Amino acid sequence: MTAPGDAAAPFDTVTIVGLGLIGGSIGLAIQRSLPGVSVQGFDADPEVRETARRRGLAHRVPDTVEEAVADTDLVILCVPVRAMGAAAADMADALPSHCIISDVGSCKASVAEAIGAALPAHTIIPAHPVAGTEHSGPEAGFASLFDNRWCILTPPDGADEEAVARLSALWSAMGATVERMDAEHHDLVLAVTSHVPHLIAYTIVGTASDLEEVTRGEVIKYSAGGFRDFTRIAASDPTMWRDVFLSNKQAVLEILQRLSEDLSAMQRAIRWGDGDALFERFSQTRAIRRSIIEEGQDDARPDFGRGDHLSGRPGNDEDEGDTPTR
C-alpha cells in the first residue's frame, strides 16, 4: 500500500460511476493514497449522490454523468453487473477519446462484452477487486477495504499494456495486490470460491427458514452451530447476487454439477456408515483452511477476529459478502 502522497499518480482524474460499497470505497481509497488525483463521482440515484457528497466519497459529484466524465482519464464502472452495459452507453457521447474504461464487476467475460458493445472505440481494462462486505450502498464504503486484498485484472488479448500498467498502479496504490487472469478463467475460479458458496448460503438459510418442524426462534437461538456464518453471507445484496448468477451462468452450473456429485458421495458415505471416507474428506478440507490462514486471507482467532472488527479494526475479508460484520 502506498502512503499518502508518495506515489506518482497514474491518472490525473478518475471518475467513479456507481457510488455504493465498492465505488465509495474506491473514492475514499484514492483520496487517502493519491491526494493529487481528482476524483469525480456519479450515481443514477439522487439520494445516493447526496450521501456521497456528505461523506466526501469524491471531490465532486455532479448531477449528470456527462459532467462527471467530461475531462476524465479513467472511468471505473461500479454498478451491478447487469447494469454495466447501460451505464457505459449513458456516457458514450460525453467520454473523452483518450479515457480508459474499467469496472469492478464480479463476473468478467459477460461484463467485458457488454461494455465493449457500448463503447467500441475505447480501451477497456476490466478488473475485479476480491474484497467486499455484506453491506451495500453509499454509507457502506471505507478507505481500507482493498488493503492486502487481491485485485484481478482481465485485459483482453492484445490490450494496451500501458493502460494495464496504469490501472495496476492505481489498484496497488489503493492497497491491493494485483493479479492478471483470462476472463473465462476468472469466472470459473470465482464460481468456486465465491459464487457457489453464496448460492449454498442463500439456499441453506432459505431451507432452514422453510422447515416447519423447527421454529424460527430455535434457528436463531442455536445459530452459532455453523448456521450463523451462512446467514452473514446470505445477507448480501440481492440485486448484486441475482446479477452475478445470471451473468456467470455457465461456470456456476458447471461447479454446481460437480458439487452435487460430491454431495451424493457424502450422502452415500453417511448412509453406508463409511467413516473412513468422511474422515479423509474432512482432513483434506482442514488443510485448505490452514493454507488460507497462512496466506493471510483469513483470521485464525476464535470467532474469526470478529470482536476486533466490531471494536474498530477495519473490517474486510476475502470476497464479496464474505466478511466479518462491521
Q: Which of 11, 42 has the CB closer to ligand NAP?
A: 42
Exposure on the CB side of residue 80, measured as CA atoms within 13 A: 17
CB count within 10 Å of CB 225 equals 7
The distance of closest approach from Cβ of residue 268 to ligand NAP in the complex, given in angstroms and rounded to an integer, is 36
**For residue 73, which phi and psi values (nearest 5 degrees)?**
-100, -25
Cβ of residue 269: shortest distance to ligand NAP, in angstroms? 34
Helices and strands in the chain: count of H runs, count of E runs? 14, 8
Q: Are 157 and 109 in contact (CB under 8 A)?
A: no
Query: Which DSSP symbol is given to 224?
Result: G
- The residue among 83 and 199 lying less far from ligand NAP, judged by its C-beta, is 83
Q: Are strands 177-180 and 150-153 parallel, antiparallel or unpaired?
A: parallel
The least CB distance from residue 36 to ligand NAP, in Å, is 25
- Report which DSSP code applies to 215: -
Which residues of this chain interact with ligand NAP, rule CB under 6 A?
17-23, 43-45, 48, 78-81, 83, 86-87, 104-106, 128-129, 132, 136-137, 237, 240, 244, 320-321
Cell, residue 231? 446467514
**Which CB sits closer to ligand NAP, 151 or 208?**
151
Q: State which residue, 208 or 230, has the beta carbon closest to ligand NAP.
A: 230
Q: Is the CB of 9 or the CB of 199 nearer to ligand NAP?
A: 199
Per-position DSSP letters for 75-101, written without gaps between them: EEE-S-GGGHHHHHHHHGGG--TT-EE
Q: 73 or 319: whose CB is closer to ligand NAP? A: 319
Least distance in Å: CB of 292 to ligand NAP? 18
In the complex, least distance from residue 273 CB atom to ligand NAP, rounded to whole angstroms: 41
Give the shortest CB-4-to-ligand NAP separation in angstroms: 24
- Amino acid at the residue 265: A
